[in-house]
């Protein structure tokens, strides 16, 4: 379960004072990922590209301790688990939200991804794990290529959030521009950069 933690007991104490009540505490990074390996394994093993990318996002976040805390309202909350959110087109043509608990076991993550995205699509009801997991939001606009996007700065949704469009082919490689938004209370640019480096490394490990 999520638990309230004292900012002064964390490495984010000064960031909490600086950014918690700032009018615009969200920061967005843009990066182009080489997703060639994900395309290959998706086709070879008949796995969904977005599932593979969500898995890599979760795996890249696990070693970065800042992903286990999150500003919620005026509190700083601590978590023991990470989940990755995916947006699902439901049976009435609208979108619903589906949280998938991250596990290092790719087969289990894929099973959960398929099970719960189908369930959410059929019921049109969101699957929300935010009460006990730090959720990384994602949104894939797969019908068009985009160079980047900036999410909400309202303080309502402070979770880390990634957005991407359709991947692009250049010569014999595939590339995907992504946006990564985070709350400055949760992490600094160095932590976000570490996460994005981890993400590319995890993608590269697929062969």
Q: What is the CATH number of the domain that holds 132?
A: 3.30.559.10
Q: Which residue is listed with tokens 């439901």?
A: 90
60: CB partners within 8 A, 6+ apart: 195, 196, 198, 199, 201, 202
> Which residues make beta-bridge pairs with 28?
181
Domain count of the fold of the chain: 1
Asked whether residue 7 is assigned to any structural domain, the reply reads: no
pLDDT per residue as tens digits for the range 92-142: 999 999 999 999 999 999 999 999 999 999 999 999 999 999 999 999 998
DSSP letters of 125-171? --B--TTTSEEEEEEE-TTS--S------SSS--S-EEEE---EEET
**What confidence tens digit (pLDDT) does each residue in 23-72 have?**
889 999 999 999 999 999 999 999 999 999 999 999 999 999 999 999 99
- 4 in any annotated domain: no
Domain assignment present for 94: yes
- Give the model confidence (pLDDT) of 143-195 as tens digits: 899 888 887 766 678 999 999 999 999 999 999 999 999 999 999 999 999 99
CB neighbourhood size of 39 (10 A): 17
- The structure's pTM equals 0.96
Q: With respect to residue 17, please indicate whether it lies within any of the assigned structural domains.
A: no
Range of the domain at 171: 23-204
Residue 61 lies in a domain: yes
Does 90 fall in a domain? yes
How many residues does this entry show for the chain? 207
Look at residue 6 and tell me if it is in a domain.
no
Give a yes or no: residue 5 inside a domain: no
């Amino acid at each position: 379960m999520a638990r309230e933690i004292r900012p002064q007991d964390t490495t984010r104490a000064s960031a909490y004072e600086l950014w918690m009540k700032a009018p615009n505490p969200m920061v967005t990074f843009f990066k182009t990922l080489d997703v060639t390996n994900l395309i290959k394994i998706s086709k070879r093993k008949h796995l969904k590209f977005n599932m593979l990318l969500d898995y890599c996002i979760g795996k890249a976040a696990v070693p970065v301790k800042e992903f286990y805390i999150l500003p919620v309202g005026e509190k700083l909350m601590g978590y023991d688990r990470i989940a990755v959110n995916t947006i699902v087109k439901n049976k009435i043509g609208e979108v619903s939200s589906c949280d998938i608990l991250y596990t290092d076991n790719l087969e289990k993550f894929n099973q959960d991804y398929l099970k719960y995205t189908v369930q959410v699509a059929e019921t049109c009801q969101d699957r929300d794990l935010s009460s006990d997991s730090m959720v990384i939001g994602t949104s894939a606009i797969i019908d068009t290529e985009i160079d980047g996007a900036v999410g909400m700065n309202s303080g309502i949704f402070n979770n880390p959030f990634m957005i991407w469009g359709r991947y692009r082919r250049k010569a014999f490689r595939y590339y995907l521009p992504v946006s990564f938004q985070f709350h400055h209370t949760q992490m600094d640019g160095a932590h976000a950069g570490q996460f994005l480096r981890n993400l590319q490394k995890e993608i590269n490990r697929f062969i």
